[in-house]
Amino acid sequence: MSDRRLVIAGTGSGAGKTTLTIGLMAAFKQKGYTVQGFKCGPDYIDPSYHTAVTGRKSRNLDSWMQGRNVLKEVLAYGSKGADISIIEGVMGLYDGKDPASDEGSTADISVITDTPVILVVDCSAMARSAAAIVHGFQTFNRQVNVAGVIANRTGSEGHYKLVKQAIEQECGVPVVGYLNKDDQLTMPERHLGLIPSVERGELNTYFEELGHTVSETVDVNRLYAVAETAPVPEAGPGLFDRKREPVITLAVARDTAFNFYYEENLELLEAYGAELVYFSPVAGEELPEGVHGLYIGGGFPEIFAKELSGQEGVKASVREAIHKGMPVFAECGGYMFLSRSIKTVNGEEYEMAGVIPGTMAMTGRLQALGYREAAGCSGNFLLSSGETVKGHEFHYSAYSPDNPLDTAFRSVGRGGTHLEGVLMKNVVAGYTHLYFPSNPAVPERFINKCAEWKTYG
């Protein structure tokens, strides 16, 4: 028995791996295959593209946040029922958590999962030199199986043939196709605000055309053969085996403003006894009746600040529940929504839920980016003393409190340790996107806290 999967990696950011990944997913779908997408690293944007193209929820693979066993389990679980899984890399093949090791890199994930790598090379303005680039990527870590190459941004079919001859002669790996500069459909600039339009299907025509374009110059059938490999053993801790009857109902804000959720986070909450009820603050849907907790994930409430500000009923329902003691976990965009107001880069200020006293100001520049290992501060019901959970921080806003509040997390990243987030009433809020499978006690404690409130109020 075998599986089929490929890693689509680039020599660096901008090599064209996302274009080729989406194009290949669409091409395989057009051939009638069931395709599963994965993205290396803690990215929310590219998985939204994968999901739109394949019709299956794309998942993140991250060897630092997940560890080897959870990563394997997520891959095996997500791939069930698929004919082929396509794993899109992050940055360059060997770029990861730090420059001194492969940890967290696409290469690391390919080795852990025993997955063949298709290397996307920007071949503009070169011919034989492309072989030197491929040779370097082949030999840098010989555990990595570079099983094929796609030449990107070639000038013509003739140019492609020169590149192909050089690489196959010097490197001994097949060059399975190409995309010419002139043939490429313009890839929309990827940014957080584009996700809602992707989810609404506004780019479906683009995806379909890209699939046809890729099929014309890339040997998709050969790639399907190259993708054959051994199944990934489900060596993880059995994350998806936990089955508990629902003991509480948990409201989850999920719409165009709040949609950054790791699927495993939601699935673990269900596994530990939560019935999830989704609602849309942007659409004016108030906190559902009869719920015992609230999870407000990340997103970009700043883009929808005017709409959210006008939803007085939504804001009032959230405030009232929190004042009654309902347990709440709010991360990044959810943290912003609970504040008194959001101030845009243009200086416009919009009132939010008004639970957390202070303003979230959009700065126009990145305030934080990187992996985090977060420990809970005193009073944080998600984490016991001495425990940590892994996650990722990425935001352009900065919080200015009206008065000092208890801190939620002691967060460790490449830049050192810093305190972040706030605790008040039964609210845990902060900028860090937590990855629950890195410490399954976190979702279990969340559910238990909700059950306690359900019983005792």
Query: Which are the contacts of 435, defined by CB distance < 8 A and separation ≥ 6?
Result: 42, 62, 65, 66, 262, 264, 265, 389, 390, 391, 392
Which is catalytic among the residues 171, 332, 377, 450?
A: 332
Active site residue 450: no
> Which of these, 82, 110, 83, lies nearest to 7 by C-alpha position?
110
| CA distance linking residue 168 with residue 147, whole number of Å | 11
* Cβ 270 vs Cβ 234: under 8 Å: no
| CA distance linking residue 264 with residue 155, whole number of Å | 43
**Tokens 């980016």 appear where?**
369
Alpha helices per DSSP H over 245-338: 263-271, 305-309, 312-323, 333-338
> What Rg value do the Cα atoms of the chain yield, rounded?
23
User: 153-189 burial, b for 16+ CB within 10 Å, e for fewer?
Assistant: bbbeeebbebbbebbeeebebbbbbbbbeeebeeeee
| CA distance linking residue 87 with residue 100, whole number of Å | 24
* Cβ 39 vs Cβ 47: under 8 Å: yes
| Backbone φ, ψ for residue 443 (5° rounding) | -65, -35
SS3 label, residue 272: coil
The helix, strand and coil proportions of the chain, stated in percent and rounded to the nearest 5, come to 35, 30, 35
Instruction: Give me the amino acid identity at 71.
Output: L
> Which of these, 75, 86, 430, lies nearest to 263 by C-alpha position?
75
427 bridge partner residues: 328, 424
| CA distance linking residue 376 with residue 383, whole number of Å | 5
| CA distance linking residue 249 with residue 312, whole number of Å | 24
Extract the tokens encoding 87. Answer: 């794993």
Count how many Cα atoms sit within 13 Å of the Cα of residue 41 in the half-sphere of its side chain. 25
| CA distance linking residue 252 with residue 261, whole number of Å | 10
Give strand ranges (E) for 332-377. Answer: 339-343, 349-351, 356-362, 368-376
Extract the tokens encoding 323. Answer: 């004042």
SS3 label, residue 378: coil
Q: Which residues are designated catalytic?
A: 332
